[in-house]
Structure 1
């Protein structure tokens, strides 16, 4: 049977009519859900408004990106569309507004109702996942993921933080023509196809540790490490000049924290004018940071994606890949190798300002879901 799995399309974001290209490549549908990952060079508002009209009853969720993942792997200045056929997918999608001022926990009751209603409407589609797109400049991803996860009743959640290239100025999400900042969009998806939600990072903890001794958790700023100015002490530990710290340094010398028996990345975004370190994810006083060692990013990704295909190759994979992984690949001249691997394993998606996996907001990671052929005719 054709068109069981998600359909993928790609167009230049600056094309006079990118939606026409996307719609033709996706095919006639109908679709239950259409995801749009839009380069910041495109007209985001115009595109999502037109897409909502074009795709009829489909839920249309979208975000701006820090780069796209298309047929050839890493691409830029594109719109990547992923359409989930109504024949094999059922979807409920909601927007969560005003992240900075609302109690995310209060959203849990509505989420439980949405989840139960979807389950009743699609009893023949037993496999489910939740897909989250969140404003990557909101600084609320940690709180949001932790609040949403308990209401999902065991439904695995993954997602990514909307980006703005490398400018970090303006990120947006959208649902059905409603464009918002300081917001998130959550899709609950049920399908008869076998699926596997996953998280990948290529970092291994070393014995080198440091303690956050002064911080502003609300702003994700570390002021002191080991009772010394944060940037200077970090530079000393990783053997770098404190005046030369930049995004590439942070990608090359990441730090991780131990949570629930596993290590998760806490990526550094920048050095402030005061010599402090601002992070991409949650940070607090007393937190122990461990310097991580990087495995080869290309061979590690090949190994992990091959593991997803060990018993049967996926029809496709939807992935949220951290911008820092792309930057590391650029620095190591490994973009071609990484892109070839993504393309060969049929990964589509976008580069993020952060990733969500279950109740956690993480960095320098790829999260995603793999879709497999049905065990029997759908």
Structure 2
């Protein structure tokens, strides 16, 4: 005898339940992603059509964030992304820049958008866009910086940490002048920053602010927090006894025509024992030159050889400057020691890092990329690869520069207006 078939149970969830699941699952995933952390991070492929939606899920809830900083691969449609981010990541204010590579979850990466979110419960921020780097009024910028500092101090008087983060068009050649001009307004507040990149193409670099991708521009982030912070700057280079003198230069364009009264590229190559026709970015990364400023050596990195045989620099250069060849220490060992020192007494919640493109190229050339990436990931470093770094009032090259942010020692979050 054949039994009548039982009606099949309806396993499809009701529309309301399905909609609730669609809302809940991303929120749960976001909570797991940044569980136990003060700051929030997000990562997405730069060319993915849903990149911003994925970032929004990882950074959620967005209405708790004071600021979102994006480090964007030049593979992205930067103009469209900048405009869309201002809406899709609202109500948080969104700033950022293009990169010469990103530092993501697993260290060095390419073709991504890396996002960091600062929650209002621990951070207060002011965003100062600076357009037209050839004609800005330095005094008005200084005045606004001071007003911003005073406003934040009144808003959260019990919070004791401050730092400033500068993002600037990496092809503007204005980093040296701008950092020096802003220093009087910042006073004792430590500044660090990075120059926006364009991979290794050096074609166009952008700063993101107010829904626009801007050139010949910068954005200064003034941040106050109840988290402890440490701004740092490190490199693995040691000066040698080999010196040279710049005898012909165009400071406005960062060009060196002559070294030791000889054509610049040819003389640099001769000192290295290399063919001047074979100079590459890898050569410059492996054989940097430094200058002595205020008792310390700072890299004056070479970007490329011009068609004229001139050397194009990443930083300010002038006639009469004495350049010293430098040699690298063990890059992996030095980075491990530098990052471990930041966590010697307390583990950072995050390290926001600006790493020079030339360091990344050196790691690639020496096949050290996996080891460097592992260290960056181990120490919770996220950020981007730059065309130069800023620390306080100086523009530098071939360094790792950034800020370590630590959980607050006491739970004194403020009720923010």
Could you say which residue in structure 2 is the equivalent of 1:222?
A: 256
1:109-120 map, 5 Å: 109-120=143-154
Classify the secondary structure of the residue corresponding to 2:176. helix
Q: Matched residues in 2 for 1:339 and 1:135: separation? A: 26
Residue 312 in 1 paired to residue 341 in 2?
no
Classify the secondary structure of the residue corresponding to 1:351. strand
Could you say which residue in structure 2 is the equivalent of 1:17?
A: 50
Give 1:85's match in structure 2, choosing from 119, 131, 148: 119
Question: How far has the Cα of 1:5 moved from its partner?
Answer: 2.2
Classify the secondary structure of the residue corresponding to 2:335. helix
Could you say which residue in structure 1 is the equivalent of 2:272?
A: 238
Question: How far has the Cα of 1:168 moved from its partner?
Answer: 0.6
- Asked whether the 8 Å contact 1:94–1:175 carries over to 2, the reply is no
Q: Cα gap change, 1:104/1:237 in structure 2, threshold over 3 Å: closer, same or farther?
A: farther
Give 2:247's match in structure 1, choosing from 213, 231, 239: 213
Give 1:35's match in structure 2, choosing from 45, 48, 69: 69
Q: Matched residues in 2 for 1:51 and 1:114: separation? A: 25
Cα deviation code 1:308-362 (max 9, x no counterpart): 0111111110000001111010100000000000000000000001110000111
Question: How far has the Cα of 1:104 moved from its partner?
Answer: 3.7
Question: How far has the Cα of 1:20 moved from its partner?
Answer: 0.7
Could you say which residue in structure 2 is the equivalent of 1:355?
A: 389
Residue 334 in 1 paired to residue 368 in 2?
yes
Could you say which residue in structure 1 is the equivalent of 2:182?
A: 148
Q: Matched residues in 2 for 1:191 and 1:297: separation? A: 32
Could you say which residue in structure 1 is the equivalent of 2:226?
A: 192
- Asked whether the 8 Å contact 1:205–1:291 carries over to 2, the reply is yes
Q: Cα gap change, 1:326/1:237 in structure 2, threshold over 3 Å: closer, same or farther?
A: same
Q: Matched residues in 2 for 1:179 and 1:76: separation? A: 20
Question: How far has the Cα of 1:107 moved from its partner?
Answer: 2.2
Give 2:169's match in structure 1, choosing from 135, 146, 153: 135
Q: Matched residues in 2 for 1:103 and 1:251: separation? A: 35
Q: Cα gap change, 1:59/1:34 in structure 2, threshold over 3 Å: closer, same or farther?
A: same
Question: How far has the Cα of 1:102 moved from its partner?
Answer: 3.0
Classify the secondary structure of the residue corresponding to 2:180. helix
Q: Cα gap change, 1:103/1:216 in structure 2, threshold over 3 Å: closer, same or farther?
A: farther
> TM-score, length-normalised on structure 1?
0.97
Classify the secondary structure of the residue corresponding to 2:307. coil
Question: How far has the Cα of 1:109 moved from its partner?
Answer: 1.9
Could you say which residue in structure 2 is the equivalent of 1:53?
A: 87
Q: Matched residues in 2 for 1:3 and 1:182: separation? A: 39
- Asked whether the 8 Å contact 2:53–2:88 carries over to 1, the reply is no
Could you say which residue in structure 1 is the equivalent of 2:25?
A: none
Question: How far has the Cα of 1:103 moved from its partner?
Answer: 4.4
Gaps of 5+ in 2: 1-33, 413-417
- Asked whether the 8 Å contact 1:248–1:331 carries over to 2, the reply is yes
Gaps of 5+ in 1: none
- Asked whether the 8 Å contact 1:4–1:87 carries over to 2, the reply is no
1:55-70 map, 5 Å: 55-70=89-104
Q: Which has the larger radius of gyration?
A: 2
Question: How far has the Cα of 1:106 moved from its partner?
Answer: 4.6
Q: CA RMSD in A?
A: 1.4
Question: How far has the Cα of 1:110 moved from its partner?
Answer: 2.0
Q: Matched residues in 1 for 2:272 and 2:290: separation? A: 14
Question: How far has the Cα of 1:132 moved from its partner?
Answer: 0.5
Q: Matched residues in 1 for 2:47 and 2:174: separation? A: 31
Q: Matched residues in 2 for 1:270 and 1:282: separation? A: 15
Could you say which residue in structure 2 is the equivalent of 1:173?
A: 207
Give 1:291's match in structure 2, choosing from 304, 314, 325: 325
